[in-house]
Structure 1
Amino acid sequence: MICALSSAVCIGTASVLQAVAARAAQLGTGSGVDVTLVLRALRQWRYVAGLALFGLSFALQVVALLTIPIYAVEAAQAGSLAVTAVVAAPVLKVRLRGLEWAAVAVVCAGLALLGLSVGAQGGSDGPPALRYALLGVTFAVLLAGAVAGRLPGRARALVLGFGAGTGFGVVSVSVRLIDDVAPSALVANPAVYSLLLAGGTAFLLLTSAFQRGSVTTATAGMVVGETVGPAVVGVVWLGDRTREGLAVWAAVGFAVAVAGALALARFGEATATAEAAPDGAAASSAKPED
């Protein structure tokens, strides 16, 4: 659980850095899957620093996924929005309202409940078809992202955000399904391909959502996509459980943490327009819709 929470700290801080860099990059093709947008964003040092923190976050997340149930790890990832909000306040001079400070407290309370009630990780590998289902979901997300870039306003932001969250969720489940790291086993395991493809797709969609869509809508979609689905897969197919007699508290903790994260959805991306062009790029070329 310590690794899961440390991962949330890394990803929450990285979100502030990457969002500023993504806003400073010029607009691209209009597609939700825009590789050139990422290449332009890589010219920003903040984006590179954010990528490094994302890498550290992923390493910590893998350790957590191999130790505790998926639902606890994903709730902690959603809780990273509380970290983003706290970091954004002094760095970008974004003022937190009273309700948002309360939401930060709610996230912390939910994660505390979850940490006290989390049980053993399930020992099941799930049905063989689950690995291929993850690949199918990944391709569906990739296709939806390509189409979403042409949708209007909030519909575009919601689909891009949900697609990114679903991609991150596929990564989490895929980690659990890689039980043999021998080269021959890795090549033959569909979960390896779903992990790589879903991770890359999620980053592309998230970068596009940050630049082109409503911050609140996109982040809310991402939180739902990365928490609910993987939690259900972990409990139903992978055997994740809570401590004996504490299932209700775990469910309450999960729901409270996710609800608090949704209340902080606007902090899925840094929201100070004046600071969005640190390297001289025009921030006004990609103003948030909310």
Structure 2
Amino acid sequence: MILALVGAFGAAVLYGVGTVLQAEGLRRSARSTATTWWARIQAGWLYAVGLALDGAGFLASVAALRSLPLFIVESAVASSVAVTAILAAIFLGGRLDRPTVLALAVVGVGLVGLAASAVEGPAKALSGPAAVLLLLLAVPTAGLGFIGYRLAAARGVALLAVVAGLGFGGAGVAARTLNLDGWKVLTDPVAWSLVVYGGLALAAFGLALQRGSVTVVAAVTFSIETVVPAAVGLIWLGDQVRQGFAWLTVLGFVLTLGGSVRLARFAVLEP
């Protein structure tokens, strides 16, 4: 369980560092006086490093989901904004005010509670109709994303953020239930769900960030991607809470999610 927890919290660190590097890369690129496309890319090379760290964070979260419940891994990933907030204050000139410091403490307490209440173990494998259903549900999710794309900015942003949260959540469910059985994984609907939901989430999240407030987008996305898969894991996938610790799970979940949403305000890093 220790290694899985390291993977979950390591994913949060990688995502948080990646966000800061991407922000700094965009800032350098925007300040660059280079006139060619390639020169501007070189000026913002940190952005590429940040993207690579995001990819590493995703792989770490997938590894953690092989043995940890969705509610703790998704909560840990959402807490990456705490890492972003701290690093932004150190390297990008941000300032940690009292509410932000309090939110950091709240997230820390919440994560400790979740770690103490989680029971390690694999989820129920999805196969047959259930696996196909998971993949097919990506179709209406993509449809909602298309509607959000066509709507005016004010309404479309919220819908795109919801789609991003559902996409990240769907990818988490797929990673939790994926059966790694050699070459058969290439024809497994769950494996394709992981790819489709992940791509859909990244596209919707990027569009939402381009159109609306980063704070609103992050808060909505974090909420959906944490709450929905956690409920799916506890109700249908056999994720378990340590006996007598249900209250601690609920408390830790609320503290982590609430603190992460609050920290999303501080983690707004404009290029």
Q: TM-score range by the shorter chain?
A: 0.7 to 0.9
Give the partner amino acid of 2:120.
A
Per-residue Cα deviation, 1:64-101 (whole angstroms, up to 9, x for no partner):
10111111100101111111111111222122321111
Q: Secondary structure at the residue paired with 1:121?
A: coil
Structure showing greater relative contact order (alpha-carbon pairs closer than 8 Å, 6 or more residues apart): 1
1:9 aligned onto 2:13? yes
Give the partner amino acid of 2:215.
T
2:188 is matched with 189
- Call closer, same or farther: CA 1:52–1:219 in 2, change over 3 Å: same
Partners of 2:129 and 2:28 in 1: how far apart?
A: 43
2:88 is matched with 88
Give the helix-richer structure, 1 or 2. Answer: 2
Give the partner amino acid of 1:229.
V
Q: How does 1:217-236 map to 2 (within 5 A)?
A: 217-236=216-235
- Call closer, same or farther: CA 1:13–1:260 in 2, change over 3 Å: same
Q: How does 1:1-290 map to 2 (within 5 A)?
A: 1-19=5-23, 44-126=44-126, 128-183=128-183, 185-267=184-266, 269-271=268-270, 276=271
- Call closer, same or farther: CA 1:162–1:43 in 2, change over 3 Å: farther
Give the partner amino acid of 1:152.
A
- Call closer, same or farther: CA 1:5–1:154 in 2, change over 3 Å: farther
Per-residue Cα deviation, 1:30-58 (whole angstroms, up to 9, x for no partner):
xxxxxxxxxx9899423311111012112
Per-residue Cα deviation, 1:138-172 (whole angstroms, up to 9, x for no partner):
22332322332343344333222222121111111
Mean alpha-carbon deviation: is it higher for 131-140 or for 62-71? 131-140
| Structure 1 alignment gaps of length 5 or more | 27-39, 277-290
| Structure 2 alignment gaps of length 5 or more | 31-39
Aligned residues: CA RMSD: 2.4
Distance apart, 1:195 and its partner CA: 0.7
Aligned residues: 258
- Call closer, same or farther: CA 1:67–1:43 in 2, change over 3 Å: farther
State TM-score, norm by structure 2: 0.86
Distance apart, 1:123 and its partner CA: 4.2
Partners of 2:42 and 2:151 in 1: how far apart?
A: 26
Contact in 2 for aligned 1:15/1:269 (Cα 8 Å): no
Partners of 1:205 and 1:42 in 2: how far apart?
A: 27
State TM-score, norm by structure 1: 0.81
